[in-house]
Amino acid sequence: MNQDIVNVIKAYEKSLNASETAAALELYGEDPIFMPQYSAALSGREAVKAGYDYVFNTLKLNVTFTVHEVVEMGELAYVRTTSAGQTEILAKKTTVKEGNNELFIFRKERGQWKIHRYLFASTNPPATI
């Protein structure tokens, strides 16, 4: 597995758990797209920044990522991960179990692997209506 890419995933995990928008955004490339569950795609650095600001003002994450595969294709790579842990919903002061499947697309920019596209979906079924 490409250790440089794995290191970016671990840095991303750290930025989420520390609620640090700037640290998360630093891991993205020049033209990122973040596709959070239940949301329209956030395209461009300003939109991605706003997305993380919203997440960190709403939630406190405590998650761990597991990297399942890294597939390099020249200047691009895709990474399949899962994450698990817990999330505190700040407004309600409640904690819920967190679990996701994630797909990252990385692009090499100026010799460094950067997150180019990121998509996640929960592995926890929604509550019944």
Express each pLDDT in 36-91 by its tens digit.
Answer: 988 999 999 999 999 999 999 999 999 999 999 999 999 999 999 999 999 999 99
Q: Within a domain: residue 108?
A: no
Q: HSE (CB half, 13 Å, CA atoms) of 15?
A: 19
In this structure, what CATH number is given to the domain that contains residue 59? 3.10.450.50
As a whole number of angstroms, the distance between CA 118 and CA 94 comes to: 27
Say if residue 115 is exposed, middle or buried (CB neighbours under 10 Å; 0-12, 13-18, 19+): buried
**Per-residue pLDDT, 1:** 80
Q: Within a domain: residue 90?
A: yes
- The whole domain housing 12 covers 3-101
Pairing between strand 76-89 and 94-109?
antiparallel
**Per-residue pLDDT, 43:** 98
**Per-residue pLDDT, 128:** 55
Look at the chain and report how many structural domains it folds into.
1
- Residue range 77-128, pLDDT digits in tens: 999 999 999 999 999 999 999 999 999 999 999 999 999 999 999 998 776 5
Q: Which two tokens stand for residue 27?
A: 């891991």
